[in-house]
Structure 1
Amino acid sequence: MKEAWKRWGDEDERGALNLIGQDEVRRAVSLVRSGEVVSLAQPLSSKTPGPKHRCGLQHFMNRDGGDYAAGGRRPGGFQFSEDSVVMPLHIGTHIDALCHAWYDDELYNGFAGNTIRSTTGAARLGVDKMPPIVTRGVLLDFVKLTGQPLAPTHSITRSELVEATAAADVDIARGDAVLIRTGWLESQNGRADVSFDEEPGIDVEAALWLAQQDVALIGADNYAIEVLPFTQGHVFPVHQRLIRDYGIPLLEGLSLAALASRGRSTFLLMASALPIVGATGSPLAPTAVL
């Protein structure tokens, strides 16, 4: 299935983010009332949890106070510190680029899967092709709706999304970024044995309903947006349909409790990926402006 292919031309690499135009930006900016800025990002450190097939974050100091204590030069009295980080790009709060998932050897818009190489990265649809995101955010808060975090393996259906949208008193519109609070991330706080095998999330029909509303972006406070484990015979079916078929990037690992506590369902959302050439994703620090 190729629902959004060629919609914005044969060479398009932005996908559904094309749905955010100047009108959508102005609409989003008009939502700012108090001017309060709320971070939606997890802190990043060696303790940030991740699935076992990915290395954790490694943080190294290249220059620190110990260098001067050991007699390091300080010309003109000047001293400084600097550091380096090694980490997977899909860690903590991050966005999936359109080259991250595909099937049948074809990426979004019909680009070939073999254009992604270990030596050069993604020749097409890398995260560097993703524009800055400034649009209306819509929070669908299932913790508020149900009174508690959703149970592990709970599959959010299309009808439940419609119910949550009604509870938020909002209509999903073209160019929106829909953020789903399941309570999964909050339920993992303080745990040393975070499981990435079970989580509540949307099913395929729910994902397709969002895509059909012309959303630009879908995010959630969980690892994969979609429910885990998968049904028999399927592997990341929501990723396949949204990223490959509709060109919708996924914003994973959001921290949504602070935003939910403000009682706002719509807000100005701003986020920008690191423009790493040929990368399949990027950590980022999205913000909601109220």
Structure 2
Amino acid sequence: MVTEPNNWGRFGPDDQRGTLNLLTPATVLAALASAATGQVISLAMPIRGATSSAAPTTVPHLRGRPLPQHFMSVDGGDYAAGTRPVGAGLRVADDAVIVTHHGTTTHMDALCHMWSGEELYNGHPAARVRSYGAARCGIETVGGVVARAVLFDVPRHLGLDHLPVDFRISAGLLREIHDDVRPGDVAVVRTGWPLVWDSSPEEYWSGQPGLSAGAGRWLASRDVAVVASDNAAIGGLNARQLADEGLEDDLHMILLWRHGVHLAEMLRLEELGAACAGRAGKDFVFVAAPLRIEGGTGSPINPLAIL
């Protein structure tokens, strides 16, 4: 049982959605007022080709993780003995399957993704997470997210292209950038780390900057609905691509397990950062919908920012 301040029981004993419960119809309608120009920006990294091609290696990912796999059939010839009759002169290419993994593409973590002891978020039994899926707190409980979002463009605030590999973002720095964080908001944190991939994958794999435990607790205290970042783990990673913090200070444990705050990782934020740099406000509308994978620990997403 978690003892640190948390949201267990706050939304009822059967709750599986955490702070997404704060996105009431009134909150969603109010969030729509954050759009001023109607410009729509995708915040997702591309999924390129199958692992049998060189294409996925051009997209940032954690070392050793299965790469996104995008298989296609052309006229059915790749996966079937014959072709589908579709009419004279027509040719068909079908997407057969897309397989992704945490740490390899833009995705959202479900509340069943990580836990400690024998309990998931809100005290749901961890024994219900099996190889065929999680019976509690799966990604299908998310539905869709439409919310006001605030951008914490940390490197731009500090006059950098990207944060140093060992940089941990403090709560004080977040407050300095944007102190108007409201219940139900999506906190979008830019580290700029994906830029490193373009110059050196080896440097990208040497670690990653991210939020400190204090910053995670501050965001949780502000009742954010989602925390999203362009890094791979919200918190920082070392050269072994692991968090240095213990369980008490691990960002996934603070946000997912204790507070029921969903996480969106490996976003592409360069275009958004440039667009917001010229705006008076730092807020916008955030839209994301994970695939309805029953019992899934996460799902690929294509988050949209509406400015």
Measured after TM superposition, the shift of residue 87 of structure 1 is 2.1
Deviation at 1:158, TM superposition (A): 1.3
Instruction: Specify the alignment match of 1:213 in structure 2.
Output: 222
What is the aligned partner in structure 1 of residue 53 from structure 2? none
- Bigger Cα displacement from structure 2, 173-182 vs 15-24: 15-24
Q: Which residue of 2 aligns with 1:266?
A: 283
TM-score by length of 2: 0.85
- The alpha-carbon deviation at position 212 of structure 1 amounts to 0.3
Shift of 1:223: 0.6
Q: Which has the higher contact order (CA 8 A, sep 6+)?
A: 1
2:21 aligned with 1:12, yes or no? no
Secondary structure, aligned partner of 1:207 = helix
Whole-Å separation in 2 of the counterparts to 1:287 and 1:150: 24
Superposed displacement of residue 35, structure 1: 1.1
Report runs of 4+ in structure 1 exceeding 4 Å deviation: 64-67, 71-75, 232-236
| DSSP 3-state at the match of 1:61 | strand
Please list, as runs of the form range in 1=range in 2, the aligned pairs for 1:81-160 lying within 5 A after superposition: 81-90=93-102, 91-118=104-131, 120-148=132-160, 149-160=162-173
Matching residue of 2:72: 61
Q: Does 1:41 align with 2:44?
A: yes
Aligned partners of 2:122 and 2:224: how far apart in 1?
A: 17
Distance 1:11 1:196, change over 3 A: farther
| Range with bigger deviation, 223-232 or 30-39 | 223-232
| Alignment CA distance shift 1:100-1:65 (3 Å) | closer
For 2:140, what is the secondary structure of its paired residue? helix
Quote the Cα distance in structure 2 between the aligned partners of 1:73 and 1:9.
51
1:235-254 equivalent positions in 2, closer than 5 A: 237-254=250-267
- Residues 138 and 179 in structure 1, CA contact (< 8 A), matched pair in contact too: yes
Unaligned runs of 5+ in 1: none
2:72 maps to a residue whose letter is M
Question: Pick from 162, 165, 178: which aligns with 2:178?
Answer: 165
Q: Which runs of 5+ in 2 are unaligned?
A: 49-55
Identify the residue that residue 33 of structure 2 maps to in structure 1.
Answer: 30
Q: Which amino acid aligns with 1:155?
A: R
1:279 corresponds to: 296
TM-score w.r.t. length of structure 1: 0.90
Report if aligned partners of 2:60, 2:197 keep a CA contact under 8 Å in 1: no
Answer yes or no: is the 8 Å Cα contact 1:54–1:88 preserved in 2: no
Q: What is the identity, as a one-letter code, of the residue corresponding to 2:196?
A: S
- What amino acid maps onto 1:157 in structure 2? S
